[in-house]
Structure 1
Amino acid sequence: MKTQQKYSLFLFIFIISLSSFSQSKTKKGYDIKGEEVTFIFNLKDYPNIENNGDSVDDVFVSGEFNNWAKDQWRMTKLNDTLYTLKKDLSDFTTDFDWEFKFIVNSEHWAEPTSDFKNATDAMSDQGWYYGVYNLKLYSAFATDYGNITFRLKGYENAKKVILSGTFNRWDETGFKMKRTEDGWKVTLQLRPDIYQYKFIIDGNFWLTDPQNPSKTENEFGGYNSVIDVQKNVKFRLCDYQDAEIVILSGDFNNWSEHEFEMQKVDGCWIYNQRLSGGKHHYKFIVDGEWITDPINTVKEYDDEGNINSVCMVK
């Protein structure tokens, strides 16, 4: 089943759980909260820099994401030893795993030692080896406060159960499930999207979710379980105070002219609808007249030449 990693993925980037940078050992060299990546450099974690006798004037982040530039991503100095740099997740595209390092004064590479959990060795273009960090960006991370809980009943005699799917590129080690009274569970934070997944029992038995009837055939002649993670979207129309009936119509309800009747709340017409991740076209029907959303500037033509408002769910 390792070849399941060949599946193409929607690159709605998200994250593995991370350590706090308030500790003396930053572990991974970065932290992620919400939609921001914070790179963390603590001088005390790098003896080769702290003990070389040179003053630290500037610290930069250098990696695959900026073509290993030595002087582009300048960090902010918080105190004598701590530097940080915040970047939006949107700055990182196309890949799930980025190598990076810190460079002091644009010339001294800070070497992450072997006790850093996410530091590895790699070979440079010049042929010598150096320690690097790996910034891992997956579409999911495990947390007790996540929005989706996966459960597997039974298998009490199993030693280990792993959740694997398109949300972590079919990684066979990342999401270890916890024992419960009647089986196993793990909770993830997932962005809206349609995901495929399986359970791995003791490292060799791949199992679809017995409690989930939604499945899709895979390239090996078997099946993967499917979950559609949706997000609540509030549609609002605050004009047309004298209208009698306002309908929300879009590709998510097959352009129904009567199904989603909006309610008037505090002077605005409101409708809440859960939607899958991706792009959705919609319009309002005001007393029989079709209009685009007057406060949404994002519009597109459909295949028939009609102009529709666009809602992006991510």
Structure 2
Amino acid sequence: MKTINTYLVFILIFFIGKHSFAQENTMKGYKIEGDEVVFTFNKNDYKKVSHDAFGIAEDFKDFDIENVVVSGNFNNWSKDKWYMKKIDNENYELRKKLTDFSDDFSWEFKFVINNNFWAEPSKKDPNIIQATKDGTHLNVYNLKMYTGAYPDKNGNVRFRLRGYENAKNVVLSGTFNRWNESIFKMYKITNGWEIILKLDPGNYEYKFIVDGKWMEDPSNPDKVTNEFGEYNSHINVQRRVTFKLNAFPDAKNVILTGSFNNWNETKYRMTKVNNTWTFSLVMSGGKHHYKFIVDNKWITDPDNSVREYDDQGNINSVCMVK
């Protein structure tokens, strides 16, 4: 889409203070750096390998490693596709773009040694799940990777819970992690707890779990009723979008209108910069229809080939915010 430039903005940074926050990577087997998923394997982290479908484990000590492969439900558990790069005698790494994965929130994966043996994670690793086959639980575990939402010190949403200094464990849970009760552990700070997440634009519900007790965010008045007749806290993560019309340099008046402003014909007056008409606004995630009004004439975006009919039979340009 040539005429729409999207810029991530920190719309929902809750209670920003002077606290310096360093996000720890607590997930075994991977980390997220910018727009990449970095799979990491250190042979010292694994004590056992398994060979057959029943998960019979063997000692990993002094195992002669020829290659390491990343295998998971994102590549149909292939043992010979995603080869890792050897960094040194103990460490291997593989980098993949986040866009290589679909919009699923989580994935299961494992490391394969020499295209044959599965490296078995420890039961103490925070992101493990018991492996299954045909609905039957096996005696081994897989690692889980989360790409739909993840902790990031440079993320765009900061969650902070003030008080509860004597709590031992505080967790953030919500629709962005399918209400998982353990993976997003919050970090203790002065006068409370916090965690920073990278979240795509959209509407999310969430709660805090303080030493096993669920509670709403006391500092966020935006709440919605849940299925239990109680309340969840709610946030709307947005993104700044710049619309451009690279035509009509001699026009006197150009308006941006769309489903995001109820097709208002006067509100979003565009500005001409170097013969290009522009207008920026903050938008919620999802699909939006729009048009330009050039000197009272309605037109679709000539540089955007993505168009759809609306309920009235009108054809509009489409902007996807995600």
Q: Would you say same fold, with TM above 0.5?
A: yes
Match of 2:97 among 57, 78, 88: 88
Structure 1 residue 269: deviation in Å? 1.1
SS of corresponding position for 2:118: strand
Q: Which runs of 5+ in 2 are unaligned?
A: 1-22, 48-58
Match of 2:62 among 40, 47, 51: 51
1:112 equivalent to 2:121? Answer yes
1:19 matched to which residue of 2? 25
Structure 1 residue 154: deviation in Å? 5.1
Do the aligned partners of 2:105 and 2:149 also contact (CA within 8 Å) in 1?
no
* Structure of greater relative contact order (alpha carbons < 8 Å, 6+ residues apart): 2
Structure 1 residue 144: deviation in Å? 4.0
Structure 1 residue 259: deviation in Å? 0.4
Distance 2:217 2:70 in 1: 42
Aligned residues: 287
1:133 matched to which residue of 2? 143
AA partner of residue 51 (structure 1):
D
Distance 2:215 2:267 in 1: 39
Do the aligned partners of 1:118 and 1:133 also contact (CA within 8 Å) in 2?
yes
SS of corresponding position for 1:65: coil
Distance 2:124 2:220 in 1: 41
C-alpha change, 1:282 and 1:63, in structure 2 (3 Å) is same
AA partner of residue 19 (structure 1):
N
Match of 2:203 among 194, 207, 214: 194
Do the aligned partners of 1:164 and 1:175 also contact (CA within 8 Å) in 2?
no
Runs of 4+ in 1 over 6 A off after TM superposition: none
AA partner of residue 140 (structure 2):
Y
C-alpha change, 1:146 and 1:99, in structure 2 (3 Å) is closer
Residues 1-314 of structure 1: pairs in structure 2 closer than 5 A: 19=25, 28-43=28-43, 45-46=45-46, 51-53=62-64, 56=66, 58-78=67-87, 81-93=90-102, 95-113=104-122, 118-119=127-128, 122=131, 129-137=139-147, 139-153=148-162, 160-173=169-182, 174-176=184-186, 178-181=188-191, 183-204=192-213, 206-314=214-322
Structure 1 residue 142: deviation in Å? 3.2
Structure 1 residue 167: deviation in Å? 1.6
Distance 2:139 2:61 in 1: 21
**120-129 vs 293-302, which moves further:** 120-129
C-alpha change, 1:95 and 1:272, in structure 2 (3 Å) is closer
2:4 matched to which residue of 1? none
**273-282 vs 96-105, which moves further:** 96-105
Distance 1:50 1:63 in 2: 24
Identity of aligned pairs, percent?
A: 52
The CA RMSD over aligned residues, in Å, is: 3.1
C-alpha change, 1:279 and 1:94, in structure 2 (3 Å) is closer
C-alpha change, 1:123 and 1:305, in structure 2 (3 Å) is closer
Q: Which runs of 5+ in 1 are unaligned?
A: 1-16, 21-26
C-alpha change, 1:277 and 1:67, in structure 2 (3 Å) is same
Deviation by residue 1:253-296 (Cα, 9 ceiling, x = unmatched): 00111000011123211111000011111111111111111222
